[in-house]
Structure 1
Amino acid sequence: MLSARFSFLLSFAAVSVFGASNLTETCQEPVVLSSFPDLTSCLTQPGLYSCENTTAIQNTCCSPTPGGLVLQTQFWSTYTGLETKGQLLPKGSWTIHGLWPDNCDGSFEQYCDPNRQFDPAPSPAKFPNGTVISAYKGPGVDTIVEKFGRGDLLDYMNDYWINQNAPNQDLWAHEFSKHATCTSTFDIACYGAKYQKNQDLINYFDAAIRAFHQYPTYDLLAAAGIVPSNKTTYKLEQFQNAIKAQTGAVPYFGCTQNGTILSEVWYFNHVYGTEQYGTYKTLDSTSKSSCNATGPIQYPERSAKSEHEVRGL
């Protein structure tokens, strides 16, 4: 049986993933709050996959550059640390980590725009040259989502984009501040003269969820007979083969405890078009797995108190 998260894909995508405008009532007339960038100039640009261009990209709003090796990353966590506050994991699903713009050579930039820094605990705390990355001390980014009238988005993020030992919105802020600010297609200039403050933030959250939908890790593994278990162990090759059979490529699998406990997966991609709406071409990982290459690996079960059935199913 397919997981709850995968079953929700179509209904959520139709409503919100593509950045549908929302209306916020005022005492005068409705105000349209959009999360779309202005991509009209891209209609006359030559199409290409990121990192596969032979000349410099002229309009960086049309293709992510230099961070054209896009990673959709996910966690397999067994607890949140905030269960008593109702912060739980989605049953039958991995969770979102983020959407990362690695450079085509595998290097990456981070915290590229101090004016769009919402991370309350930057990691790293300073750049290699010693410059400190100032911690954000304002309202959580969840309040910005609310101001855009995106209750649908906020609900979904609280179901599938889960932090550990800290509020969910801190993780969302971290991912936007560290990664989206280094992605050219989320540059403020790409939203045009009618840019609304924080429009890019909402757009990034939608884009991260859209990419997450492309890789239903729990379902892909379960379809190959690989399910969480505290008794059965697996080999790295089994995880890799299960994903490759459906995506055509081998992702990065990350493990803790000296490579014995599965904890994360990263899907590598080149993108045709923008990171927000383009087509993702899945590629083999450029990073070596931190999991044991030949020994047993545990894909641990979660306790019933740490997860919940997702809404609306």
Structure 2
Amino acid sequence: MFSKKTLFTVLPVLASTSANAWASDNHTCALTKPIYSCENTTTIVDTCCTPTQGLVLVTQFWDTYTGLESEGSVLPKDSWTIHGLWPDRCDGSYGQYCDLSRQYDPSPSPNTTTGKPDGTPVPAWEGGNIITPLLQKYGKYDLLAYMENYWKSQGSPDWTFWQHEFSKHATCFSTYDVGFEGAPDCYGSLYQNSTEASIIDFLDSVIKAQVKYPTYAWLAAEGITPSNSTGYDVKQIQDVLTNASGGEPYLGCYGPTKQILSEVWYYSHSLGRPQDGNLKPIDQTTKTNCNATQPIWYYERAQGSEY
């Protein structure tokens, strides 16, 4: 079980490891011919330069409220919000919480690394918000401001969601590895602290990927806007987003008849590292769960929930 220390207690210990970087920790990816993830026919030579879980998903939410409006947490006008950037294996399966030395999720879900009872338990993080002070430490105020506006949690402070996404998903991208359990340190001795570097690198990558997929604008350009009185055909929504993005996305709906639109996942292969943002759209590998025969409701935001 890992000690539940604060990030700033943990990180100097990790920093001493990267100061003695292995001779094999040479990961200048500009010197490696990039290949598309999931399209390689041979073993990946440098997993810091091409993700081993290379089916990359750019995921977004359509929420109508945050639940914390009284605390000033509201949703951005005319925009979907960020869910995350996920690594799936090329067969559609995926890992989660792959590096427990970088576990900062206060409410791990699932609570084991496999999601099954025989998996390794994921200890709840008790060290509070580490992402906000980390971005402030390095002067990443623009990145932090963007995240505060567009990466919104529902029913909990935004930082809890950010730390969940990093701990569950980023740690399974091999290109953000920092040496846990024999993995290479992709950051090496160039950086004072590999873990801090991996966190900032991932957050920046999430934003870089998200801005490529302006879901709200794509739909609005074709007359599909939030409405409490007009429903839409799921195929109409999917066709618009497919034509705009270049690949057929997954649409997620909830409710007893799966008619309330809430999510979109865009699938891609990455040319080299996901950090570089060279994502090639592909069609969904998970079948859209929205009702195919009844109207889909793309509801307006609740009053007072949007700035």
Distance in 1 between residues matched to 2:170 and 2:26, nearest whole Å = 17
Pick aligned residue for 2:220 from 207, 219, 222? 222
Match of 2:158 in 1: 168
Q: Which residue of 1 aligns with 2:3?
A: none
CA distance in 1, matches of 2:159, 2:169: 15
Specify the alignment match of 2:202 in structure 1: 204
2:36 maps to amino acid: Y
1:281 aligns with 2:277: no
2:251 equivalent in structure 1:
253
| More strand per residue | 1
Distance verdict in 2 for CA 1:87–1:261, change over 3 Å: same
- Find the partner of 2:172 among 157, 170, 182: 182
After the TM superposition, list the runs of 4 or more consecutive aligned residues in structure 1 that deviate by more than 3 angstroms: none
Q: In the alignment, is the contact (CA less than 8 A) between 2:201 and 2:275 conserved in 1?
A: yes
The verdict on how the C-alpha distance between 1:249 and 1:113 changes in structure 2, with shifts beyond 3 A counting, is: same
Residue 107 of structure 2 corresponds to which residue in structure 1? 121
Deviation at 1:39, TM superposition (A): 8.0
Q: Give, in whole Å, the separation in 2 of the partners of 1:302 and 1:269.
A: 29
Paired residue type of 1:266? W
What is the CA distance between 1:40 and its match in structure 2?
A: 5.7
Question: TM-score, normalized by length of structure 1?
Answer: 0.84
CA distance, structure 1, for counterparts of residue 38 and residue 112 of structure 2: 28
Q: For 1:55-66, what aligned pairs fall within 5 Å after superposition?
A: 55-65=42-52
Q: Deviation string for 1:131-168 (max 9, x for gaps)?
A: 32100011302222222221111111000000000000
- For residues 38-187 of structure 1, what are the structure 2 equivalents within 5 Å? 41-65=28-52, 67-127=53-113, 128=116, 129-140=118-129, 141-187=131-177
Q: Is the 8 A contact 1:249 1:282 kept in 2?
A: yes
- 1:151 and 1:73 mapped to 2: Cα distance? 23
Range with bigger deviation, 293-302 or 141-150 = 141-150
What is the one-letter code of the residue matched to 1:159?
N
What is the CA–CA distance in structure 2 between the aligned matches of 1:288 and 1:176, rounded to whole Å?
25
**Cα gap change, 1:296 to 1:209, in 2 (>3 Å):** same
Identity level (%): 53
Q: CA RMSD in A?
A: 1.3
Q: SS of the counterpart of 1:304?
A: coil
- 8 Å Cα contact 1:268/1:283 also seen in 2: yes
Cα distance change of structure 1 residues 280 and 255 upon mapping to structure 2, 3 Å threshold: same
